[in-house]
């Protein structure tokens, strides 16, 4: 199910439910009893002295120790429950981020930047603060009960004055929100730049652009870190303003309480209970106000999260193997100024070998993307199995094959269960048998296939397509990055398969060209 965009969706209800959430909230609320317990105990000291209850000292001490140990245990359990809940939320949001990147075609750098930066901000400034606000609210409620039972008039005065800072949090929080948005945007761009520089370091060195690149990196990183500092400074200033207001709002009711005590309207133990506990009330309300301002600063990030798109899980029985491809008068253009295909027609029956050649920008790769469904024609139809097929099974071989930092077996099977016989057959037909014999199926492929050759990567893709029994192979410049001998071996493997092959390439040797049934030259 997809998360539909919503104007008020930044409340994160999707992540505030379930047993771990409620356990964290309930235990956090109970742990808030520690403050009124200490407050009530402190007031009781004065009552025992005032009433001279000497015989109550030992029972009081015993009850205090047992109760406090219980509250400490509750506090520990609350922290444990909160950590378990946060671990679940981080897992869920990371997974949602990856699914959204797949569904929306978001590049890996942007997704990783979100996980490394935005997610950390929203965890620290939203979820952590939700727990803190919950505990502060529990402290306020429990302490209010104690306070009103001591002297409700004095308690009401404290409460009214203590609530005043709540209305000011939004005023001071606006700048924090703006600074957070600036930092989020900046760090995202910086992360992508760092990723590009590291990935393309060989090109930078080759063209002797190290100094300029480092200068550009320095500027981007400096800008991001300055905006992070500005954001933190804005938060500190917000805290300063709120603390000043808190001090003012705390001293006023104390003065009123002194006046009431002198006039005999309130007893000393009641004054101590109300003043001490109300100090916690005002302090907690002030903390809530400050936390609300910080919490508001995450609104733009939360909007991204709640509007993440999900990836549709298509049942296996709804995915069809493609056995026939037909283009009927297809028009396609990426923009109005440049038309790529005009009235293009093509028919590929089961087992046909079709070669599509042409200059860069002529539409070769576009044709493959139209077959896969990545692109939709502006006019005409692309029919698979004589219909506009939505869920299709196709094999791909590209100049940049998809490989994972996983075992060779996983790279071929993608985690699906196949028998050893099926896997070995695919390995044999793809020309990977010698490699498997030497290294085994548990051989770990390094990040981006750093420990295998280009030909081996492409043979993995071939083995994958064969194992999944794809009737159609789409080959996009599949041998352009290979040496002549490796390219010849890969082509020999592909052309000898009883599969439909649609290949696009700038150059194909003449001895390979003759093996294609159809050759299409694009202008």
Q: What is the CATH number of the domain that holds 292?
A: 1.20.1560.10
Q: Which of the listed residues 281, 306, 331 is the one where a domain comes to its end?
A: 306
- Residue 355 maps to a domain: yes
Grouping H, G, I as helix, E, B as strand and the rest as coil, residue 259 is helix
Distance CA 145, CA 273 (A): 11
- Residue 4 maps to a domain: no
Q: Which of the listed residues 263, 283, 306 is the one where a domain comes to its end?
A: 306
- Residue 247 maps to a domain: yes
pLDDT of residue 167: 59
- Residue 380 maps to a domain: yes
301 and 332: one domain?
Answer: no
Distance CA 491, CA 326 (A): 24
- Residue 222 maps to a domain: no
282 and 375: one domain?
Answer: no
Distance CA 472, CA 465 (A): 9
Structure tokens at 498: 């009883």
301 and 325: one domain?
Answer: no
pLDDT of residue 351: 85
Distance CA 185, CA 417 (A): 42
- Residue 45 maps to a domain: yes
Q: Which helix (H) or strand (E) holds 508?
A: none
- Residue 205 maps to a domain: no
173 and 235: one domain?
Answer: yes
145 and 252: one domain?
Answer: yes
388 and 481: one domain?
Answer: yes
245 and 328: one domain?
Answer: no
- Residue 184 maps to a domain: yes
353 and 396: one domain?
Answer: yes
What is the tally of structural domains in the chain? 2
**HEC per residue, 96-133:** HHHHHHHHHCCCHHHHHHHHHHHHHHHHHHHHHHHHHH
Full pLDDT tens readout for the chain, 523 residues: 344 444 444 578 889 888 999 999 999 999 988 888 877 777 777 677 677 777 777 887 788 889 889 999 999 999 999 999 999 999 999 999 998 988 887 878 888 888 888 899 899 999 999 999 999 989 888 887 877 777 677 777 766 776 666 556 556 666 677 777 788 888 888 888 887 788 777 777 766 778 888 888 899 899 888 888 888 888 777 777 777 777 777 677 777 777 777 777 777 777 776 667 666 777 787 788 778 878 888 888 898 899 988 877 778 777 888 888 989 999 998 877 778 888 889 888 888 999 998 887 788 888 988 998 888 898 999 998 888 888 888 888 887 888 888 899 999 998 889 999 999 988 988 888 889 999 999 999 998 888 888 888 888 888 888 888 888 889 888 776 667 777 787 788 888 888 899 999 888 888 888 889 888 888 7
Distance CA 441, CA 427 (A): 10
Structure tokens at 33: 């009893």
141 and 270: one domain?
Answer: yes
Cα distances (angstroms) measured from residue 17 to each of 21, 225, 311, 334, 518: 5, 35, 22, 44, 58
Q: What is the CATH number of the domain that holds 393?
A: 3.40.50.300
pLDDT of residue 284: 80
168 and 295: one domain?
Answer: yes
Predicted structure pTM score: 0.69
285 and 232: one domain?
Answer: yes
CB contact at 8 A, 159 and 279: no
186 and 287: one domain?
Answer: yes
pLDDT of residue 70: 92
Beta-carbon neighbour count of residue 12 at 10 Å? 17
Burial of 506 (0-12, 13-18, 19+ CB in 10 A): exposed
Structure tokens at 32: 């808030």
The b/e string for 61-76 (b: 16+ C-beta within 10 A; e otherwise) is eeeeeeeeeebeebbe
Distance CA 162, CA 281 (A): 7
Q: Which of the listed residues 277, 306, 335 is the one where a domain comes to its end?
A: 306
Domain span at residue 414 reads 317-522
Cα distances (angstroms) measured from residue 51 to each of 46, 261, 269, 275: 8, 18, 11, 20
**HEC per residue, 130-171:** HHHHHHHHHHHHHHHHHHHHHCHHHHHHHHHHHHHHHHHHHH
């Amino acid at each position: 199910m997809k998360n539909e965009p919503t104007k008020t969706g930044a409340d994160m209800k999707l992540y505030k439910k379930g047993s771990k959430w409620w356990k964290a909230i309930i235990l956090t609320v109970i742990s808030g009893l520690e403050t009124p317990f200490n407050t009530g105990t402190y007031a009781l000291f004065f009552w025992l002295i005032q009433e001279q209850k000497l015989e109550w000292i030992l029972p009081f001490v015993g009850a205090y120790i047992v109760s406090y140990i219980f509250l400490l245990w509750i506090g520990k359990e609350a922290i444990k429950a909160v950590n378990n809940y946060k671990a679940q939320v981080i897992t869920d949001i990371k997974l949602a981020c990856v699914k959204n990147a797949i569904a929306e075609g978001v590049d890996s750098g942007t997704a990783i930047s979100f996980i490394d930066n935005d997610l950390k901000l929203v965890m620290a400034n939203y979820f952590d603060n939700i727990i803190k606000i919950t505990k502060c609210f529990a402290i306020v409620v429990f302490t209010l009960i104690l306070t009103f039972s001591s002297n409700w008039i004095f308690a009401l005065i404290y409460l009214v004055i203590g609530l005043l800072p709540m209305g000011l949090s939004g005023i001071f929080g606006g700048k924090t929100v703006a600074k957070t948005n600036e930092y989020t945007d900046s760090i995202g761009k910086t992360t992508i730049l760092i990723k590009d520089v590291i990935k393309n370091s060989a090109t930078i060195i080759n063209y002797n652009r190290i100094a300029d690149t480092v200068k550009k990196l320095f500027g981007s990183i400096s800008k991001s870190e300055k905006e992070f500092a500005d954001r933190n400074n804005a938060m500190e200033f917000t805290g300063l303003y709120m603390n000043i207001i808190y001090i003012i709002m705390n001293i006023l009711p104390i003065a009123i309480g002194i006046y009431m005590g002198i006039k005999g309207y309130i007893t000393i133990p009641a004054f101590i209970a109300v003043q001490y506990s109300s100090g916690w009330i005002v302090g907690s309300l002030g903390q809530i106000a400050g936390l609300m301002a910080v919490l508001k600063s995450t609104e733009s990030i939360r909007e991204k999260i709640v509007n993440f798109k999900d990836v549709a899980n298509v049942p296996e029985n709804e995915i069809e193997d493609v056995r026939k491809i037909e283009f009927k008068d297809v028009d396609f253009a990426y923009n109005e100024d440049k038309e790529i295909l005009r009235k293009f027609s093509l028919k590929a029956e089961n087992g046909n070998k079709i070669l599509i050649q042409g200059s860069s920008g002529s539409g070769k790769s576009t044709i493959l993307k139209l077959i896969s469904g990545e692109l939709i024609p502006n006019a005409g139809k692309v029919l698979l199995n004589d219909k506009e097929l939505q869920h299709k099974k196709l094999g791909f071989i590209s100049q940049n094959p998809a490989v994972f930092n996983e075992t060779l077996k996983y790279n071929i099977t993608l985690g699906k269960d196949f028998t050893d016989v099926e896997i070995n057959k695919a390995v044999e037909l793809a020309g990977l048998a010698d490699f498997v014999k030497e290294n085994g199926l548990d051989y770990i492929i390094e990040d981006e296939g750093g420990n295998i050759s280009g030909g081996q990567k492409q043979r993995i893709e071939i083995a994958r397509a064969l194992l999944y029994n794809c009737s159609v192979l789409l080959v996009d410049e599949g041998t352009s990055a290979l040496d002549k001998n490796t390219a010849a071996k890969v082509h020999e493997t592909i052309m000898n398969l009883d599969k439909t092959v649609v290949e696009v390439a700038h150059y194909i040797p003449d001895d390979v060209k003759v093996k294609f049934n159809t050759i299409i030259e694009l202008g």
